[in-house]
Structure 1
Amino acid sequence: MRAWFKTGAPWIWLNAGAVAVCMLMVIGLIGLIAVRGFGHFWPADVAEVRITDREGQQSVVLGEVVRSQVIPAAVARDAGYWVPEGMELVTRFLFKQGNRDQTGRDFVWHTEIGMADFEYPNEVLVIERREWGNFYGYPQELRFEGRVLRPGDAEWSAGVSAAVQRSLQLHDQIKRIEKREIGRINTEMEQLRLQRRTLDLRNVQGTERALQEEQIATRSAQLDGDYEVLRKELDALYASAKRDTLLMRTAEDKSVELNLAAIVRVNQPNAMSALTKFGQYFVRLGEFMTDDPREANTEGGIFPAIFGTVTMVFVMSIIVTPFGIAAAIYLREYAKQGTMTRIIRISVYNLAGVPSIVYGVFGLGFFVYFLGGSIDQMFYQASLPSPTFGTPGLFWASLTLALLTLPIVIVSTEEGLARIPSTIRQGSLALGATKAETLWKVIVPLATPAMMTGLILAIARAAGEVAPLMLVGVVKLAPTLPVDGIFPYIHMERKIMHLGFHIYDVGFQSPNVEAARPLVYATALVLVLLIVVLNLTAISIRNHLRERYRSASD
C-alpha cells in the first residue's frame, strides 16, 4: 500500500474523481434548470375536478395541475383546510386556474379531501392573453367578420384560427406604427424642439433666426400632418381589432366575452396529439426567445434582455481589450522593475478581488454624474435639465464592467508575455530588429492566446454580473433597444435590459411568484448558454491564433 501511494496513483484517481463529481454537479444543475424552465412551454393538459366541502356543497376547478405536495394534517388545518380526524398526511394540488380578471388569482391550492377523479374534457380552450394571464373555459360562440360561429359548426376551428391570425396581424401593424413610424416622428419633433432651444441659448437674432425658425416651423407642420395620417390609421386598426369577440363559459358556468385584440393564442391541449404539442412547444419557445416581455415580465419573451446582454458584453470587450493589453505590455516590457512597479502589480491583483457593487457605486458617481453631467453641460445643454449622458445607460454600464474586468485582462496578458522565452527576444534583436519591432512583430503575436484567455475570463464574469449594473444602466423594462433605424442608429445613452437582472427581478420582485418560477429557470438557462457560446467563440479564436503562430514559429 505504501509503495502504491508513492507512485502517485491515488492522487491521480482522487483528481479524476473530483473532476467527475464536478462535471456531474454541473450537468445535474443544468439539467434541473432545463427541465424546470423549458418544461413550462409544453402545452399541458387541463383538468376539471369537482370538489365537495364539509357542508356538501360542490365547486368545480378547471386548470393545469402544476404540482402536488404531501403535508401534515396539522399544517393543513392551520392553513384553513378541512381535514377529517384521524388523518396524519394530506395531499394537496396546485392548480393554475387562470381567469385572474374573474377570480383575482392565477393559482390556487386544493387538498385531496372531497376531490373527485380528474377529468380532461377535449372541448376546453386555453387562451393566452396579453393581459390578465391565461383564460380557461368552454367556447360558446365566435363573432368574426359579421358571422356567428358555434363549436358544433363545420367552420368553427378554421374560423377561430383565422380570427386569431387576423388579430395578430393587426397587432403587428399597430406595433409597427407606434414604435417605428410614430417613434421616428417623436424623435424628429424632439430634435426640432432642441434646435429652438439652441437658438435661444446662442441668442441668435435677425435674419438667421427668422430663417431657421421658418425651416423648423415648416418641418414641424409636415410632421404634424404625418402624425395625423398615422393617428387616423391607428384608430381604424384599433376599431377593426376590437370588432371580433369570443364568448366563453367558465367552470363556474359564467359567460365571459373576450376581445380577440387581446388574445395571443388559442389552444385545445386535451385534444392535441403529441406531435402537435411538439410543434406548439417549439413555437412558444421561439416566441420566448424573440418577443418582448409583458405582464410585469411574467409573460412574453426575453429578447430585449438577450440583446442588451450581448450588446453590453461586446462594447465592454471593445473598451477593456486595448486598455488591458496596453497596460500589461507597459508593465512587463517598458516599466522599470522596481518598488513602484511591484506596488502597481499588487494593486491590480487587489482590484480583481474588490466586490462588484463597489465598481457600481464608483461608476454611478464618476462616470454617470461627473463625466456624464460634464458631457451634457458641454454638448447637450439644450436638453437640460433632462439628462442625456448624465443618467445611467449602456455606455456607462459597459465602461463600469470594463473597469471591473480590467485586472483580469492585465494579469492574463502579463502571464502570457512572461512565458515567452527570452531566447526569442534575443534572437530577434540579434537579427537587427529594434525593441519595438521585436515587441509588436514577435512577442505580441505569440502572446495573443494569453490575451484571448484574459478576454474569455472577462466575458464570463461580465455577462453574469448584476449588482453594479443596477446602478449604471440596467432597468426592469427598456421600451426601446439601443440599436434601431433612427440616426445615429447606435444609442449608447439608452438604458438596457440584462438577463442577470431579469432573473433577479422575475425571481424576487414579481407580484406573481408561481407564474414567474418557470421563467426564472428558463432565463437562467439562456444566460448560461449565452455565456457558453460567447466563451466558445473566444476559445475558437484563441486556438486558431495559437495554431497560426505556432506554425509560423516552426
Structure 2
Amino acid sequence: MNNTLLSTRKRSVGEWVKSGSPWVWLNAGAVAISLVLVIGLLGLIAFRGLGHFWPGQIIVADYQPPGQTIRTVAGEITDSEEVPATRLESSGLDVVDGQELYTRDLLKQGNRDLSGADFVWIVDEWLSSRQYPENIMVLERREWGNFYGFLESVQEGGATVVTGESAWTIFNERLDRALVIYEAIYQIEKHDIGSINASIEQLRLAERRLELSGDIDPVRQAEIQAERKLLNQEYQQLETQLRDLYRAFNRDSFVARTVDGQTLEQPISKVVRAYQPNTMSLTDKIGFYFDKVGEFILDDPREANTEGGVFPAIFGTVMMVILMSIMVTPFGVIAAVYLREYANQGWMTRAIRVAVNNLAGVPSIVYGVFGLGFFIYFAGAKIDNLFFAEALPSPTFGTPGLLWASITLALLTLPVVIVATEEGLSRIPRSVREGSLALGATKAETLWRVVLPMASPAMMTGLILAVARAAGEVAPLMLVGVVKLAPSLPLDGNYPYLHLDQKFMHLGFHIFDVGFQSPNVEAARPLVYATALLLVIVIAVLNLSAVAIRNRLREKYKSLED
C-alpha cells in the first residue's frame, strides 16, 4: 500500500512538473524579487538624496576626548555609526577600558575657510552640555560652503549699521536686496553681454570670410565697422551699468562669530541663503525644503558642483537624447525595412544580421573612441575646412560637442532599433501585404501605408530601449562632448539658437564627477544620490512618453493585426 501511495505521489509530482506550473512559480518569484530589489534601491537613493535638502537642527556642545582639552563644536549631525573601540585607538584616541562600541557622528561644522574642513567625525559619548540655541544661523555662501555661527553686526560701507538681536532682521533685508541685484548682474553678464559678444564674433567671422574669398570692399568693410561700433557702444553702456550694480552689490557686509570665538567679516553679496533652523516651524521647514529642491532642479551648479543645481545637466541630457532619437530612428527603420522587405534572404543577409547583433554587444567606450577618431578628427575637421575656414585655427565642429555625442550614441543604439523593427515587421501577416497588393497598391505604397504603420509599435519599442541605454551612458560621452561645467546652454537666443558644436553637461557624467572627483567627498555624497534619482526620473519620463505613444499606436492598428 505504501508503494502504491508513493508511486501515486511521484506520478502527481511528475504531472505537476510537466504542466509547467513550477516554472510559472519560479518566474513569478524571480520577478517579485527583482521588483523588491529595484524598489528598495530606488527607496535608498530617494531617502539619501531627498533627505539632504531638509534643514536639520544645529547642535552646540562641548566635546572632550579622553586626555584632550575640551572644545566647543557646532553643526548638523548628518550621519551616525557604531564603531569598535579598536578603531578609535588606531586613530590615536584614548578609550575607556571595558567599552567595546562607540557611537560616532558625522558633524557638518562648515566654516571651511576658518577650520579647514566642512565635516568632522566626533564620538557621541564625549559630547556634553548639548544645546540648540535659537539665534545660531546657517549661511549658504557662494564660496567656502556653509557658515555656522552667530550674527554680530551689519555694516554698510565699513560703518556699523546695527548690532545685537535686531541685526538679523536688517541682515535679511540687505540679503534680499543683494539677491535682487545679483539677478540683474546675472542677466546682463549671461544674456545681454553674451548676446553682444556673439554678435561681435559673427562680425569678425563675416569680415574674415570676405577676406578669404577676396570679396571684401570698402563699402562692406565700413558697414561692418559701423555695426561693430554700435555693438561696442552698447557694451560700454552695459559695463557702466555693471560697475554701478557691483558697487551697490558689495556695499553691505556683516560680522559673525563662530562658537569657538573666531570672527568672520564678509560681504553680504557672498551669501546665497540665510536661515535659523532651530527656530523654524514645520511649515517653514517644508517651504525651505521645496525651495531647496527647486534650486537643485532649476539652478546652475556652484562650489565645484557640490552646491547649487543641476539644470544644465538635465537640459544637456534631454537635448542629447532627443537629438539621438531623431537620428537613430530613421536610419534604424530604413535598415530594418531593407533587410526584411527588400534584401535577398541569403547568406549575406544572415551575415549582416549577425553583425548587427554583435554590434549591440560592443563596449560603449569603443564607440566613443570611434566617434572621437572619425566624427571629430576626420569629419569635423573636413567640415571646418569647407564651411568654417574663417574660424580656423579655432575648431568649430572639429572638437567634441553635442552633435558628435548624439551621433555616437545613435550609432551605439542603432542595432537595438534595427532588431526591434525587424521583429515588428516579421509579425505582420503576409495576407495583409497580399491584400494590399491585390487591391492595386504598389509595394512601396503597401510598405508606407500598411506595413510601417502596423510595425510602428515595434519601432517605438526599439526607441524606448535605445533611450534607456543612451541616457545612462557616460564612457563614450567623456570623449565626444560632455564636460564638467559648461558656461552656457546649447540652446539660447543667439543665432543659430541651437549650437550643436558646443560642449554640454550630462547627469551621468555629473554623478561620476561629483562622486569620484570632488574635493569635498562628504558634501558631494548626498548630491550623488539626488542626481542619480533625478537621472532615473528623467529616463522614466522619456520612456513613459514613448510607451504612451506606442500603446496608442498599438490600439490604433490592433484591428488590422487581428
In the TM superposition, what is the alpha-carbon distance from 1:53 to its structure 2 partner? 4.3
Q: Which residue matches 2:93?
A: 81
* Partner Cα distance (2:347, 2:271) in 1: 69
SS of 2:72 mapped into structure 1: strand
Note if contact 1:429-1:435 (Cα within 8 Å) is conserved in structure 2. yes
**Amino acid in structure 2 at the alignment position of 1:111:** V
2:188 corresponds to which of 177, 181, 193: 177
* Partner Cα distance (1:223, 1:324) in 2: 47
Q: Which residue matches 2:5?
A: none
2:200 corresponds to which of 177, 183, 189: 189
Identify which range, 365-374 or 438-447, moves more after superposition.
438-447
**Amino acid in structure 2 at the alignment position of 1:483:** L
SS of 2:127 mapped into structure 1: coil
Once the two structures are superposed, residues 453-506 of structure 1 have per-residue CA deviations (whole angstroms, 9 ceiling, x without a partner) of 000000000000000000000000000100000011110000000000000010
* Partner Cα distance (1:80, 1:223) in 2: 65
Matched, 1:537 2:510: no
Question: For structure 1, which runs of at least 5 residues remain unmatched after alignment?
Answer: none
Structure 2 counterparts to residues 40-189 of structure 1, below 5 A? 40-55=52-67, 57-112=69-124, 114-143=126-155, 148-153=161-166, 156-189=167-200
**Amino acid in structure 1 at the alignment position of 2:297:** M
**Amino acid in structure 1 at the alignment position of 2:212:** L
Once the two structures are superposed, residues 423-465 of structure 1 have per-residue CA deviations (whole angstroms, 9 ceiling, x without a partner) of 1111222222221121111111110100100000000000000
SS of 2:126 mapped into structure 1: coil
Q: Which residue matches 1:228?
A: 236
Q: Which residue matches 1:271?
A: 279
Note if contact 1:321-1:409 (Cα within 8 Å) is conserved in structure 2. yes
Matched, 1:347 2:355: yes
Matched, 1:384 2:392: yes
- Output the aligned Cα RMSD: 1.6
Once the two structures are superposed, residues 135-159 of structure 1 have per-residue CA deviations (whole angstroms, 9 ceiling, x without a partner) of 0001112236987233433xx5543
Q: Which residue matches 2:7?
A: none
In the TM superposition, what is the alpha-carbon distance from 1:544 to its structure 2 partner? 0.5
SS of 1:12 mapped into structure 2: helix
Note if contact 2:66-2:95 (Cα within 8 Å) is conserved in structure 1. no
* Partner Cα distance (2:190, 2:561) in 1: 55
Identify which range, 70-79 or 449-458, moves more after superposition.
70-79
**Amino acid in structure 2 at the alignment position of 1:308:** G
Once the two structures are superposed, residues 9-49 of structure 1 have per-residue CA deviations (whole angstroms, 9 ceiling, x without a partner) of 22222211111111110100000000000100000111111
Number of matched residues? 549
Matched, 1:18 2:30: yes
* Partner Cα distance (1:151, 1:23) in 2: 57
* Partner Cα distance (2:236, 2:177) in 1: 25
Once the two structures are superposed, residues 44-96 of structure 1 have per-residue CA deviations (whole angstroms, 9 ceiling, x without a partner) of 11111101244563211110111122222222122122323443323222111
Matched, 1:469 2:497: no
Pick closer, same or farther for the CA change 1:377–1:432 going to 2, 3 Å.
same
In the TM superposition, what is the alpha-carbon distance from 1:276 to its structure 2 partner? 1.0
Matched, 1:237 2:252: no
Matched, 1:494 2:494: no
* Partner Cα distance (1:64, 1:362) in 2: 48
Identify which range, 325-334 or 419-428, moves more after superposition.
419-428
SS of 1:116 mapped into structure 2: strand
**Amino acid in structure 1 at the alignment position of 2:197:** N
Note if contact 1:44-1:64 (Cα within 8 Å) is conserved in structure 2. yes
With structure 1 as the length reference, what TM-score do the two structures score? Answer: 0.96
* Partner Cα distance (1:92, 1:75) in 2: 11
Pick closer, same or farther for the CA change 1:81–1:448 going to 2, 3 Å.
same
1:319 corresponds to which of 300, 322, 327: 327
Q: Which residue matches 2:531?
A: 523
* Partner Cα distance (1:237, 1:318) in 2: 44
Once the two structures are superposed, residues 195-245 of structure 1 have per-residue CA deviations (whole angstroms, 9 ceiling, x without a partner) of 3322332234xxx52122212221222122111111111111111111112
**Amino acid in structure 1 at the alignment position of 2:186:** K
Note if contact 1:332-1:418 (Cα within 8 Å) is conserved in structure 2. yes
* Partner Cα distance (1:78, 1:510) in 2: 27
Note if contact 1:83-1:113 (Cα within 8 Å) is conserved in structure 2. no
SS of 1:20 mapped into structure 2: helix
Structure 2 counterparts to residues 366-405 of structure 1, below 5 A? 366-405=374-413
Structure 2 counterparts to residues 324-473 of structure 1, below 5 A? 324-473=332-481
1:198 corresponds to which of 209, 213, 231: 209
Q: Which residue matches 2:6?
A: none
Identify which range, 307-316 or 208-217, moves more after superposition.
208-217
Note if contact 1:70-1:90 (Cα within 8 Å) is conserved in structure 2. yes
With structure 2 as the length reference, what TM-score do the two structures score? Answer: 0.95
Fraction of identical pairs, as percent? 57
Matched, 1:254 2:262: yes
Pick closer, same or farther for the CA change 1:338–1:5 going to 2, 3 Å.
closer
SS of 1:231 mapped into structure 2: helix
Note if contact 2:153-2:160 (Cα within 8 Å) is conserved in structure 1. no
Once the two structures are superposed, residues 346-381 of structure 1 have per-residue CA deviations (whole angstroms, 9 ceiling, x without a partner) of 110100110000000000000011000000000111
* Partner Cα distance (1:307, 1:445) in 2: 31
**Amino acid in structure 2 at the alignment position of 1:315:** L
Matched, 1:294 2:302: yes
Q: Which residue matches 1:27?
A: 39
